Structures are given as structure tokens and as C-alpha cells.
Amino acid sequence: MGFLGEPPATARRAGHLSHPRPPRRGWAARLIRNSLLWMVPVAALWWLATPVYNRMLLSSAGGLLSLFEHPAVTELLAKGDHDAYVVRRDFPPARALVHPFHVTDVHFHLLLLGALFLGVPGLPWRERLGNLAIAALVTVVYDVLLVVFIVEFVYSTQLGAFSLAHYGAVARNFWGLGKHLLDLPFKLALPLLLWCAFYLPQLRAAAASAAAARAAGPAAPAQRARGAS
């Protein structure tokens, strides 16, 4: 007997117990539980990696911007671990720091991405990490693009006479709407979009299984659990 009067686990493993094991939770329930549990370690890792990732983002986006500028005048200057300035070298020194922004805000969706991809139940670690790596790569490209849109949004709409002189109405709307869409809906929904790209068939199959189990009646949960492992 165990401390709480329960039979020892070895007896259960050896098959000495007549009562069946309680049914395991469904696939979706385990996904939700695992994702919530993974949030904490993923958040800790993200927080530790953020200073390095911010600098990588700024240098990548700065490099991308310089490819399309003639002459290349934009510099993305890191300010501490979490902030940055958009700097224009062709402006007078007193006005060269044209816009501050919080770089860490660009990529906090990595938290959701990590938790959702690591929380998928019943998948070998190699496959789970492989899928997460592909999704993270897509997210890094997205983040670099978002920084580029933030800079172009500032140039096209926030610099008064300079914006009006150098950007037409179409360009101002393009960069403005593009920044709005990339910075809000797609940034927040990207983890779910990527997760669905990999795991929607599993979710649909789990839903079909749960529906079949509900239709079959009370004996079904154990059956469903066996199929969902």
C-alpha cells in the first residue's frame, strides 16, 4: 500500500489490478494543457534570448533596408536591450534620431509559437522540434520584414514635410496599412496560422474522434484514449 492507501505503481504495471485505468484526456485537452505548461519555460528562454535576438533583428532589417536605399542612410541603433532608434545619417545631427521603438514588442509572438508547437501531444521529439524550427524560421523572416515596415511607415507618414515630399499617397497608404496589418493581426495570429499549417489534420481527426466517442456513449472515452495516444 502506498502512503494514501493506494496500491503501489508496480502492481498496476504488472497487471495485478482488476479495475481499468482511468481514461486519458482527449488530444485537444492535452494540447491545451501542454501549451499552458510550456508557456513558462518558453517565456524564460525568450526573455533570456531577447537582447541577442533584438540585435540580430536590427542588423538584419538594417541590412535589408540598405539594399533598397541609394545612398544607404538608415541606421537602426540599439538603445539598451529592448529599444532602438531609427537614425537617418542624411539628417542634421540634432534631428538624426527620427523615431524610437520597442524592438521586444515585435517578436513576443514567439512565446505563443513555442508553447503551441511544443504542446502538441503524441509526437516524437525530433518531429516536434523540426516543425518548431521551420515555424521559427518563418517567424524570424516575418519579424525582419515587420521592422522594415515600421521604418518605412515612419518615413512615409511620421516625418511631416519629408514624408509628403518623398512619398506619394499610394506609398503612404501602402506602408501605413502594411505596418498596421503586420504589426497587429498577422503578428498576433502568425503562431496559430503556422500551427494550423502543420497540425490542422490532427485537430480535425481529434475532433472527429471526440464526436464519434460522444455519439457512441459512455463506454467510448476509454476507446478514444487508446486511439489518441
Partner 1 sequence: MSRRRRKTQQSPRPAAPSGGAPGAPGAPGATKPAGGASFWRRNRRELTFLALFAALLAGSFTLISVNWVNDHAIEPFTGGVARASGALLNLLGQHVVMRGTVIQGPRFAVNVRNGCNGVEAMLIFLAAVLAFPASWRSRLAGLALGILAIQVVNLVRVASLYLTGAYLPRLFDASHTVIWQSVVILFGVILWVFWANRLPPRDEPAT
Shortest Cβ distance from residue 79 to partner 1 (Å)? 14
Task: Provide the phi-psi class of 5: left if phi over 0, else alpha when psi is between -120 and 50, else beta.
Answer: left
Contact between 224 and partner 1 (CB under 8 A)?
Answer: yes
Q: Is 114 in the site for partner 1 (CB under 8 A)?
A: no
Sign of CA dihedral 57, 63, 68, 73: positive
**Choice from 61, 65, 76, 116 touching partner 1 (CB under 8 A):** 116
Q: Is 44 in the site for partner 1 (CB under 8 A)?
A: no
If residue 192 lies in a helix (H) or strand (E), which one and from where to where?
A: helix 185-216
In angstroms, the first-to-last Cα distance of the chain is 29
10 binds partner 1 (CB under 8 A): no
Answer yes or no: are the C-beta atoms of 140 and 58 closer than 8 Å: no
79 counts as binding partner 1 under rule CB under 8 A: no
88 and 82 in contact (C-beta within 8 Å)?
Answer: no
Residue 82 has a CB neighbour count (10 Å cut-off) of: 13
Of 87 and 178, nearer to partner 1 (C-beta) is 178
**Residue type for position 92:** P
Question: Is residue 54 within the footprint of partner 1 (CB under 8 A)?
Answer: no
Q: Contact positions toward partner 1, by CB under 8 A?
A: 26-29, 31-32, 35-36, 39, 102, 104-105, 108-109, 111-112, 115-116, 121-125, 127, 177, 180-181, 184-186, 188-189, 191-193, 196-197, 200-215, 223-224, 226-229
